[in-house]
C-alpha cells in the first residue's frame, strides 16, 4: 500500500529506463549512418527471409533477420529511428512555434483576435488528427518534408490552446500590471515576462507529443501516405511484413516493438517532467 508520504518520492524518482531508451533512440538517429551494419536499401534475394539469430536458421551477420528482398532488418530499424524522430522533431518545431505565437497572441490580446484564433484551433481539434494528416498528405503527395509539415500544422492547435490558457492566467499577475505601468508594450511584456513562465508547459507538451508524432507518422506510412519506399521507416516495415506474418513474423513485429518502446519511453518521460515542473503537482 502506497502512503501519501510515498507518492511525492515516487514522482521525484527519475524514470531511468524511459530516459535510457529515449536517449538511445536519439543517439541512434544521429549516428545511424555510422552504426548500420548493412546498406538498408540493398536488395539481395539470396538472403531473403533469414530469421533472427535466436531462431533456427538465423545468422550473426543478420542478427534481426532479413525481409523478402534480403534487406537487413536491424539496419532498416536503425535508419527508421532517424526518420521517425526527424519527422517528430520538425513537426514539433513547426507546430510548437506557430502554436505558441498564436496562443500568446490570443491570450494577451483577447477579444475578437482571441475568439478568431481559438475557433480555428477548435476546428482543427474537432477532427481526428490522423484523418486530417492523411487527407493533407494524400493531397500534397507523400514525402519526408510533407509529412513533417502536415503534422506540424495539426499540432499547432494543441500548443495554441495550452499556451492561451497559461497566458490568461499569467497576464493578470501583479508583475504584468507593474510592467504596463512602467510603460512596457505588449510585445515586450509577452516576450520578457510571459514567455519565460510558460516554458515549463512547452517542454512538457513537446515531450508528450513526440510519441503522438511517431505514431501518426508510422500510421501514414503504413497506409501509403507517408514517407515513400525504399526509405526505411517503421510504419513501412510493418506494412511490408503483413503478408509474411506467419512465415516471417520479425519483419513486422520488430519495428512494431521499436515503435512501442520509443513512444512509451517519451510518454513516461513527459509524465515525469509534468510532475516535476508543475508547481501544483510538486506540492501535493
Helix (H, G, I), strand (E, B) or coil at 180: helix
For the chain, what is the total number of helices (H) and then of strands (E)? Answer: 12, 0
pLDDT digits (tens, 9 = 90+) for 144-202: 988 898 899 889 999 999 999 989 888 888 888 788 888 777 778 888 888 888 888 89
Q: What residue ranges define each of the domains in the chain, with the CATH number in brackets?
A: 25-31+65-279 (1.10.3720.10)
Q: Is this prediction's pTM over 0.75?
A: yes
**pLDDT for position 170:** 85
Predicted confidence band of residue 1 (pLDDT cuts 50, 70, 90) = very low
Maximum distance among all Cα pairs of the chain, rounded to whole angstroms? 77
Tell me how far apart the alpha carbons of residues 158 and 118 are, in angstroms, rounded to a whole number. 11
CA atoms of 135 and 126, how far apart (whole Å): 15
pLDDT at 117 over 50: yes
Cα–Cα distance between 247 and 33 in angstroms, integer?
Answer: 30
Rg (CA), the chain: 23
Name the grid cell of 228: 515513400
CA angle 202, 234, 159 (to 5 degrees): 15
C-alpha atoms less than 13 angstroms from C-alpha of 72 in its C-beta half-sphere: 16
Amino acid at each position: 500500500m502506497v502512503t501519501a508520504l510515498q507518492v511525492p518520492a515516487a514522482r521525484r524518482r527519475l524514470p531511468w529506463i524511459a530516459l535510457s531508451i529515449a536517449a538511445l533512440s536519439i543517439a541512434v538517429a544521429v549516428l545511424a549512418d555510422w552504426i548500420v551494419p548493412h546498406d538498408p536499401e540493398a536488395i539481395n534475394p539470396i538472403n531473403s527471409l533469414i530469421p533472427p539469430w535466436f531462431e533456427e536458421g538465423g545468422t550473426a551477420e543478420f542478427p534481426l533477420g532479413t525481409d523478402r528482398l534480403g534487406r537487413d532488418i536491424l539496419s532498416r530499424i536503425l535508419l527508421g529511428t532517424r526518420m521517425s524522430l526527424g519527422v517528430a522533431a520538425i513537426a514539433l518545431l513547426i507546430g510548437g512555434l506557430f502554436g505558441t505565437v498564436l496562443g500568446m497572441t490570443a491570450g494577451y490580446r483577447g477579444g475578437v483576435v482571441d475568439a478568431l484564433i481559438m475557433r480555428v484551433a477548435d476546428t482543427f481539434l474537432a477532427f481526428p488528427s490522423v484523418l486530417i494528416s492523411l487527407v493533407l498528405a494524400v493531397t500534397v503527395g507523400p514525402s519526408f518534408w510533407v509529412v513533417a509539415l502536415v503534422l506540424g500544422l495539426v499540432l499547432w492547435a494543441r500548443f495554441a490552446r495550452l499556451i492561451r490558457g497559461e497566458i490568461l492566467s499569467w497576464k493578470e499577475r501583479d508583475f504584468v500590471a507593474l510592467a504596463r505601468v512602467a510603460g512596457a508594450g505588449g510585445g515586450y511584456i509577452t516576450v520578457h515576462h510571459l514567455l519565460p513562465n510558460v516554458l515549463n508547459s512547452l517542454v512538457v507538451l513537446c515531450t508528450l507529443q513526440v510519441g503522438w508524432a511517431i505514431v501518426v507518422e508510422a500510421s501514414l506510412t503504413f497506409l501509403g501516405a507517408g514517407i515513400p519506399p525504399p526509405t526505411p521507416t517503421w510504419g513501412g516495415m510493418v506494412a511490408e511484413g503483413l503478408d509474411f506474418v506467419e512465415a516471417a513474423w520479425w519483419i513486422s513485429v520488430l519495428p512494431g516493438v521499436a515503435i512501442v518502446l520509443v513512444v512509451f519511453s517519451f510518454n513516461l518521460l513527459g509524465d515525469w517532467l509534468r510532475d516535476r515542473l508543475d508547481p501544483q503537482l510538486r506540492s501535493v
